Amino acid sequence: MSNFEKLSLAISIVAFIVSLVSIIRAQKTQSAFLELEKVHAELSKKQLQELNETEENKNKTDLSINIYDGNMFICNRGNTVASEISLEFSNAGDDHIIESEKSKLPYPTLNPHEEIKMIATYNTSEAPLLVPIKMKWKNIDGTYSEYNGVLQP
């Protein structure tokens, strides 16, 4: 084998090694890129899901109920009108808390960021520590929502 052939063989081997290293690096880079692509796809999917939830909740409202200083407040914390607001007490005797205000229920409409104030009358020595309550209302899209909670008079 001549020197020229030996040199040609050595150059070919070096070129093969360089090509092999290049292929391995490209494969690693491609794997990392595919992993980033998967993360991006998952993030996009989550963003679309949140956008859909936001669209669904756009027509729903959020009501809360609290007792403070002898008054019961029903607050509309949502961005839409709530209608046909009604209260149900889990324990039959607990509805005496709003005895004088029962005529207001079901409340016809409650605009966003408004509240209903009802006088809550109860004898402090006989008042229960916790009052389970269910509040129902109609959303602007015609669906009904409810809140199950506990009041502390």
**What is d(CA 100, CA 91) in angstroms, rounded to the nearest whole number?**
18
Give me the tens of pLDDT residue by residue for the chain, a chain 153 residues long. 788 899 999 999 999 999 999 999 999 999 999 999 999 999 999 999 999 888 777 777 889 888 888 788 899 988 889 999 988 887 777 766 677 777 778 889 999 989 988 887 766 666 667 788 889 999 888 888 888 888 876
Is 2.60.40 the CATH classification of the domain at 63-151? yes
Name the token pair of 128: 């229960």
Q: Is 145:61 a contact under the CB 8 Å cutoff?
A: yes
Torsion of CA 64, 61, 82, 147, to 10 degrees: -40
Q: Where are the domains of the chain?
A: 1-57, 63-151
**What is d(CA 115, CA 71) in angstroms, rounded to the nearest whole number?**
12
**What is d(CA 153, CA 149) in angstroms, rounded to the nearest whole number?**
13
